[in-house]
Amino acid sequence: MASKRDYYEVLEISKNASADEIKKAYRKLAVKYHPDKNPGDDEAEAKFKEAAEAYETLSNPEKKVRYDQYGHSAEGMGGFGGFSGGGMSMEDIFSHFGDIFGGGFSSGANFGGGSRTRTTVGSNLRVRIKVTLKEMYEGGLRTIKVKRQKLVEGLTTKTCPNCKGSGVEVRVVNTMFGQMQSQTTCSQCEGTGKIADNIPAGADKFGLKKVDEEITINIPAGAREGIQLSMRGKGNDAPFGGVPGDLLVVIEEEKHPDFEREGDNIHRALYISFAEAVLGTSKEVEAVVGKVKIKVDAGTQSGKILRLAGKGIPRLEGSGRGDMYVHINVWTPQELTPEQRQFFEGQLEGGQMTPQPTGKEKSFFDKVKDFFN
Ligand SMILES: [Zn+2]
């Protein structure tokens, strides 16, 4: 590390080179030391990496400022991250600066000499499932049906004749820097290096066939809308059987007719009669699971909200449960018997039922505010 060259020196530019000049300088060196042009030349490869590392820092405004101020010692400060110091791999270089190399040079799939065994990877499978509030409350197992690509039995393969198993096609292309080799993914085997020898019925050229499969997933207690459960290896099988993809299950909340969920809290309405509001009562109301007893005090106003601590949904992160809120609504009778009518008419004249707020009743707006605090 002590002998590390100055990045400006590496790119052969002055300290006040513009972003454009930095890019041009790097492009020039990248072309000069490109591994395709210098097969088996370790020194060229080292220079190629050195230039990429210099460019990685100097092309990033934030890193450049730190480098200008502290030089290579800034790299120990954690500000550089990633690949500096430890050196970048060829794959890093091609994946990060693919735009510099232009058409075809970004793959970098096969650097480091010779062909190597490729591991194919299956694609992820994403499904959405509707989950009831009760299932979210209790958690539990659920078996779902998925259509996934599965590797068929009895598939035999042979080395791809087009790329000889390397998975890449090498072509000579004319660029503004002269003739260069370009590597692209083999069109015949799509980079796998293999082709099927015999394709069993119903399978595609990679030996994959769509099948219906039942998979049991575990819905955690406290699950909520939008969370994603991932099941490693339960996605699509890989071409010719490599590493299968994952199954991603996205949870959707099924609307409950009586409950409204707000985070881990649940809300429900409760209608009581005029007489119950006046005289007080106790009620048993449905919770998400089971029932809860609540006491309605005499003289309860419509709109009162009762909080039942810990009767909400279990917390997915952390412990405990949210709360349950019961919104009391006093039902005003709409049809009266002649006797009832006479009774209420008497009250109008007597004036006992005239509203007499004490000011201690929380206003509608206060209640709303309480919820969101
Ligand atoms: Zn091939």
Kind and range of the H or E element at 267? strand 265-273
Centre of ligand 1 from the C-alpha of residue 157, in Å: 12
Instruction: For residue 192, report the distance from its CA to the centre of ligand 1, in Å.
Output: 7
CB 184 within 8 A of CB 169: yes
The 8-class DSSP code of residue 112 comes to: S
Measure the CA angle with vertex 97, ends 91 and 103; round to 5°: 95
Residue 2 lies in a domain: no
* Contact predicate 10/28, CB 8 Å: no
* 187 shares its domain with 203: no
Residue 185 alpha carbon to ligand 1 centre in Å? 8
- In DSSP terms, 292 is beta-bridged to 285
**Any idea what the CATH number is for the domain that residue 205 is in?**
2.60.260.20
Residues 250 and 290 occupy one common structural domain: no
Q: Could you give the C-alpha distances from 44 to 93, 183, 229, 243, 334, in angstroms and in order?
A: 14, 19, 47, 35, 92
**Spacing, Cα 103 to ligand 1 middle (Å):** 20
Tell me, yes or no, whether 119 and 228 share the same domain.
yes
Among the listed residues 324, 327, 302, 305, the one whose alpha carbon sits nearest the alpha carbon of residue 313: 324
The verdict on 270 and 324 lying in the same domain is: yes
Q: DSSP letters of 197-251?
A: EE--TT--TTSEEEEEEEEEEEEPTT--TT-EEEETT-SPPPTTS-B---EEEEE
Distance of CA 98 to the CA centre of its chain: 26
CA of 166 to the centre of ligand 1 (A): 7
Are 72 and 32 in contact, with CB atoms under 8 Å apart? Answer: no
Task: Yes or no: say if 245 and 125 are a contact pair by the CB < 8 Å rule.
Answer: yes
Q: What is the Å distance from ligand 1's center to 195 Cα?
A: 8
pLDDT by residue, tens only, the chain of 373 residues: 446 889 999 999 998 888 889 989 998 898 888 877 788 888 888 888 899 889 988 988 888 888 888 788 766 554 444 334 445 777 677 766 666 654 434 333 334 333 444 678 899 999 999 999 999 999 999 999 999 999 998 888 999 999 998 888 888 877 777 777 778 889 999 889 999 988 888 899 999 999 999 999 999 999 999 999 989 899 999 999 888 999 999 999 999 999 999 999 999 999 999 999 999 999 999 999 999 999 999 999 999 999 999 999 999 988 899 999 999 999 998 999 999 999 888 888 877 778 887 776 666 667 666 666 5
In angstroms, what CA-CA distances link 11 with 3, 14, 50, 179?
16, 9, 9, 23
Please tell me the distance between residue 169's alpha carbon and the centre of ligand 1 in angstroms.
Answer: 7
Smallest CA-to-CA distance from 28 within 80, 20, 109 is with: 20
Residues 73 and 40 in one domain: yes
Question: Residue 109: inside a domain, yes or no?
Answer: no
Q: What spacing in Å lies between the alpha carbon of 41 and ligand 1's midpoint?
A: 26
Sign of CA dihedral 136, 140, 145, 149: positive
SS3 at position 368? helix
What integer pLDDT is reported at residue 107 of this predicted model? Answer: 34
Same domain for 126 and 225, yes or no, is: yes
Domain range for 160: 156-197
55, 97 Cβ separation under 8 angstroms: yes
Q: From 98, 62, 92, 96, select the one nearest 79 (Cα to Cα).
A: 62
Number of domains in the chain: 4
State the pLDDT at residue 101.
58
pTM here? 0.59
- Tell whether 204 is covered by a domain: yes
For residues 73 and 145, membership in a common domain is answered with no
The alpha-helical segments, DSSP class H, found in 290-363 are 338-350
Residue 57 maps to a domain? yes
205 CA → ligand 1 middle, Å: 13
The structure tokens 């119950």 sit at 276
Looking at the fold, whether 242 and 144 belong to one and the same domain comes out as: yes
- Residue 94 in tokens: 């091609």
